[in-house]
Structures are given as C-alpha cells and as structure tokens.
C-alpha cells in the first residue's frame, strides 16, 4: 500500500496546455505539500496545506493552483504550461508537531513533467 | 543563494567501509536538520534527524553529527552496504520538526557502495 501516491508519474505535454497532477495520502496526516525538484536538483517547497487550508505559498506563478478537496488529497493544477515548468514534482505529507513527532515528511514517488 | 550546501555531488565507497556525507549551512536560525535518502524513480524517504540542542544522533548504522559553530553536519554510515547506494539529501528547518514544510534542501550527494 503506497502511503503517498501521485498520478501521473510521467507527463509530456505541449506549451500552453493545462494539466493536473493528483496526490493522495492514506496516512491520516493533516498537512500536505507540493515540492518541485528543478534541473539543478534542488527540492523547493511550493505549497503547504493543513486540513484543506493553505499555509505556505512560496513565490510560485499564479498559473499554479493547488486544490485540496479533503485533507487526504492535494492536487496541483497548472495553467498555460511553459518550458521552465519542466521538473519533477513531489507531493508529501506530515504529522503535526508534538513531542512524539519529528515532523518528517513522507514523499510520493514524484511526477516528471516535460513541457515541449 | 544556497542556504544548504552539499559540495560533493558524488561519493564512492567500498562495501564494509564508512561513508561520510557532508552538509554545510549558512542560516544560523536553522534548528533542525534531516537527512533523506532517494532511490531512482522514488520519492525521498526520511533517514535520520537532529535538533540543534544535540551534537550527535545515532540510529543503527546511521549517525548524524552536528557542529553548530562550523555550521556543518555529517552523516556517517558504517558499515556501508550496496543497498545504501542512493542520493542523500540534507535538509534544514528554522521551524522545529519542519511540519510546516519549509525545509530547505541541499542538492544531494550520490553515494555508490561497491561490493
């Protein structure tokens, strides 16, 4: 059973198209995230949601819109795709901070987006 | 400006020997550090963490050392096994536990353990 699953794993599309990447976690975590791994291998946070509410929204273009229908799902919708959007996108989830929790992130396998 | 640096993109070690992966950071507000391990085509998985109140944390074959004055941490794997071959990411947070997601990651070091 995959704890954090994202679909699709691979996505090849043309510039200007709109696409979505879905993420689901079955860990019962309250907080979910989207990270982007760029061509330089950096992992950077894009968004963070806690119980369906947006917590973190880093400097990401408005073309990127996360949607959380419930706390187990956080989907990423991208409008008007550009070449620079090509990257691997990782979904993650975590437990809230408490004395027993390290706050570690549980990552999905990643979705490789290629924009042509 | 990289706040978390892993200056060695790759490391090759013989099976049974010690692997030492290094990480430097610049932000003195970081108070929590984590190491993640990533196999090809998989997401990163948590390996070990350390808070700034400690200088060492050990979990089986994995030990993380933190030198706050030098803003340096290292991950020791001993003995190294071929299954340890992966990319290792160092990450840091100024928010203990990092559950708010604002972890800053290094570029990663690819470890190859040769039989």
- pLDDT tens, B3-52? 999 999 899 999 999 999 999 999 998 888 989 998 877 788 889 989 88
Q: What pLDDT shows up at residue B98?
A: 46
Closest-CA distance, B80 to chain A, in angstroms, reads 24
Is A97 a residue whose pLDDT tops 50?
yes
- As a whole-number percent, the residues of chain A with pLDDT over 90 amount to 51
Which residues in chain B have Cβ-Cβ distances shorter than 8 Å to A108? 43
A70 burial via Cβ count (<10 Å: 0-12, 13-18, 19+): exposed
Tell me which residue of B75, B70, B101 sits closest to B88, measured CA to CA.
B75
Q: Confidence band (pLDDT; 50, 70, 90) for A1? A: low
Is A73 at the interface with chain B, CB within 8 A? no
**3-class secondary-structure state, position B84:** helix
Which residues in chain B have Cβ-Cβ distances shorter than 8 Å to A43? 44, 89, 91, 103, 105
Is B79 a residue whose pLDDT tops 90?
yes
- A51 or A10, greater pLDDT: A10
Those of residues 79-108 in A touching chain B at CB distance below 8 A are 90, 92, 94-97, 101-108
Cβ B49–A104 below 8 Å, yes or no? yes
Mean pLDDT, all residues of chain B: 90
Q: What pLDDT shows up at residue A64?
A: 94
Q: How many residues does chain A have?
A: 116
Distance CA B2, CA A57 (A): 20
Q: What pLDDT shows up at residue A101?
A: 59
Average pLDDT value for residue range B92-100: 64
Average pLDDT value for residue range A31-44: 83
Is A111 a residue whose pLDDT tops 70?
yes
Average pLDDT value for residue range A86-92: 92
Q: What pLDDT shows up at residue B101?
A: 56
For B107, the closest of A42, A104, A110 (CB atoms) is A42
Neighbours of A10 (CB within 10 A): 11
- A50 or A74, greater pLDDT: A74
Structure tokens at B17: 């020997």
Tell me which residue of A66, A72, A68 sits closest to A29, measured CA to CA.
A72
């Amino acid at each position: 059973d995959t704890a954090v699953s994202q679909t699709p794993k691979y996505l090849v599309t043309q510039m200007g198209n709109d696409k979505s990447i879905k993420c689901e976690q079955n860990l019962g975590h309250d907080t979910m995230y989207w990270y982007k791994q760029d061509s330089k291998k950096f992992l950077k946070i894009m968004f963070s949601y806690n119980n369906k509410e947006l917590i973190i929204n880093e400097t990401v273009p408005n073309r990127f819109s996360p949607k959380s229908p419930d706390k187990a799902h956080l989907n990423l919708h991208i409008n008007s795709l550009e070449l620079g959007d090509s990257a691997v996108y990782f979904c993650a989830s975590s437990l809230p901070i408490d004395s027993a929790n390290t706050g570690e992130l549980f990552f999905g396998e990643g979705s490789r987006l290629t924009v042509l | 400006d990289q706040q978390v640096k892993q200056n060695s993109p790759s490391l090759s070690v013989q099976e049974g020997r010690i692997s030492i992966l290094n990480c430097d950071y610049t932000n003195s507000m970081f108070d929590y550090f984590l190491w993640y391990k990533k196999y090809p085509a998989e997401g990163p998985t948590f390996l070990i963490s350390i808070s700034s109140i400690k200088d060492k944390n050990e979990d089986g074959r994995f030990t993380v050392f933190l030198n706050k004055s030098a803003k340096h941490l290292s991950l020791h794997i001993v003995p190294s096994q071929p299954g340890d071959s992966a990319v290792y990411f160092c990450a840091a947070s100024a928010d203990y536990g990092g559950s708010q997601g604002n972890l800053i990651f290094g570029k990663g070091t690819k470890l190859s353990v040769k039989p």
